[in-house]
Structure 1
Amino acid sequence: MTVAQQERAIRTRRVILATAAEIFDERGYESTTIAEILERADVTKGALYFHFPSKEHLARGVLAAAVTTDGVRPQALKLQELIDIVLLLAYRLPREPVLSAALRMAIDPQSRRQFGTRWVDWTELLTALLKEAKERGEVCADVDETETARMLVCCWTGVQVVTEGLPGSYDLAGEIASFLRRFMPTIAEPGVMSRLTVSAERAAHLHDDMPAWRSETGESEFVGLTP
């Protein structure tokens, strides 16, 4: 396969996965058909099955792609990196079907029984950051990193699910920032807390900076969807 063919195959895979995520998000996994994905993605059945042998493989691909730290730059404080990951995810989720579809499948009992979730991956990712932050003296000595990471994942998911079901409209990044402003002082050393930035505005800035981040890292717009 030539370089041009490889690049075309990667683009096709990304389009198929993004399209499947859109329809999963709109209709749910069970109600989505391969025919709908083919029509909207404008690809052949052979192209789809080359990359994804079944609808189940598409669902697992969406779940895997949603575990992402794309757009988060290294920071002087590891706790700031953790905050940035959590804030940026909240800002991106309403704007990116891959992320919202993954969450929809994770909280749906039938899909969860069939595919599981990637909450373990998120817990491990945040645990690693918390351990490094603790080694640097940013986190209180009595904090259990794994337990804290698990609670972060639980609370983030709960904030999204509850606010989505409330009357009126809520800015998820703003709600997550409000939660973090109350949560972070329970784990951060006092001298560190005052140096952390937690706001919906920071989430928007991180999102606006993503094109520059992709240019610097060589990632594409569909980073996280690569084979």
Structure 2
Amino acid sequence: MARQERALRTRRLILEAAASVFDEFGYERATIGEVVARAGVTRGAVYFHFASKADLALGVIEGQFEAEAVPERPCKLQEFVDTGMVVTHLVPIDPLVSAGVRLSVDHAADRRLGVDAAPGWIARLERLLITAGERGELLPHVVPAHTAGLMTASWVGVQLQSQRFTNRADLAERVSILYRHLMPSIAVAGVLACLDLAPDRGARVYAEMVAARGRAERPAGDDFDGGSDGGSDRGADDHSDSGADESGGTGAEAE
């Protein structure tokens, strides 16, 4: 069990390093060598967990969805808003989410991976909107698929604009403005009046998520201190996970 936990930690370490590389350089210019350097592990450890650069990029794209699973709400339109606001909060601080956003608009990644993160976001938002419609939260003219696609495209555009002009310093405010313009066109009046669209909504919901995760992972009265083996985890994983010959991975780095 301890070895499995160390392997999971190493995989996360590699994914975060890969995310920072993809976010900085884009898919085409990113290299396995840079990921190895940033993760501080051996090349063999990287190839133990990920077969290629493309596999790493797919891991980053999948990781962004894991990062923002917001709590369910009685009001599905609030959950719709919370999903976008939590991602907004995470983009500047979570490399997986930030890199996932970049990869989703990276044409080189689209060509090489054969996948696009955007449809995943659209489908997730569409499901929330369908449920909202079933609960009477939507105006009659709303088509969930159309609104989900529009919201995804608009969010990406707002994020790119914020990145260009303020290095994302005003991203939460810009996304809040986006919701304040969009929601009156889709929500019934009674629901609209109850929606929290404030710029700090994402930060507050994420704090709620972190607290809930902590309660789930640490049983009451458990004083476990994970620091006792922290210094040896990386080295142990490098040896246990890197059975592949480092020279065998050079082809993937050249992608």
Alignment TM-score > 0.5, same fold: yes
Q: Which residue matches 2:250?
A: none
TM-score by length of 2: 0.79
Q: Which residue matches 1:225?
A: none
Partners of 1:53 and 1:11 in 2: CA distance: 18
Contact 1:71 1:214 (C-alpha < 8 Å) held by counterparts: no
Residue 57, structure 1, aligned to residue 55, structure 2 = yes
Comparing 166-175 and 109-118, the one that deviates more: 166-175
Which of these residues, 65, 68, 87, is aligned with residue 67 of structure 1?
Answer: 65
Higher relative contact order (CA 8 A, sep 6+): 2
Contact 2:92 2:168 (C-alpha < 8 Å) held by counterparts: no
Structure exhibiting the larger radius of gyration computed from Cα positions: 2
Partners of 2:124 and 2:166 in 1: CA distance: 33
Partners of 1:191 and 1:143 in 2: CA distance: 16
Q: Which residue matches 1:165?
A: 164
Shift of 1:129: 0.5
Q: Which residue matches 1:155?
A: 154
Which of these residues, 92, 117, 125, is aligned with residue 90 of structure 2?
Answer: 92
Partners of 1:148 and 1:217 in 2: CA distance: 34
Contact 2:75 2:132 (C-alpha < 8 Å) held by counterparts: yes
Q: Identify unmatched segments of 5+ residues in structure 1.
A: 220-227
Shift of 1:169: 6.2
Q: Helix, strand or coil: the match of 1:121?
A: helix
Identity %: 38
Contact 1:123 1:149 (C-alpha < 8 Å) held by counterparts: yes
* Count of residues in correspondence between the two structures: 217
Q: Which residue matches 1:144?
A: 143
TM-score by length of 1: 0.89
Residue 185 of structure 2 aligns with an amino acid whose one-letter code is T
Which of these residues, 31, 36, 41, is aligned with residue 34 of structure 2?
Answer: 36
Trace 1:112-131 onto structure 2 (pairs within 5 A): 112-115=110-113, 116-131=115-130
Which of these residues, 4, 11, 14, is aligned with residue 13 of structure 1?
Answer: 11
Partners of 2:71 and 2:167 in 1: CA distance: 33
Comparing 84-93 and 69-78, the one that deviates more: 69-78
Q: Which residue matches 1:106?
A: 104
Residue 48, structure 1, aligned to residue 46, structure 2 = yes
Partners of 1:74 and 1:109 in 2: CA distance: 33
Contact 1:63 1:102 (C-alpha < 8 Å) held by counterparts: yes
Cα distance change of structure 1 residues 95 and 181 upon mapping to structure 2, 3 Å threshold: same
Cα distance change of structure 1 residues 102 and 50 upon mapping to structure 2, 3 Å threshold: same
Partners of 1:217 and 1:138 in 2: CA distance: 31
Cα distance change of structure 1 residues 204 and 133 upon mapping to structure 2, 3 Å threshold: same
Q: Which residue matches 1:214?
A: 213
Q: Helix, strand or coil: the match of 2:200?
A: helix
Residue 148 of structure 1 aligns with an amino acid whose one-letter code is T
Q: For 1:80-111, what per-residue CA distance to the aligned partner results, in whole angstroms no more than 9, with x for missing partners?
A: 01101111101110111111112222222222
Q: Which residue matches 2:246?
A: none
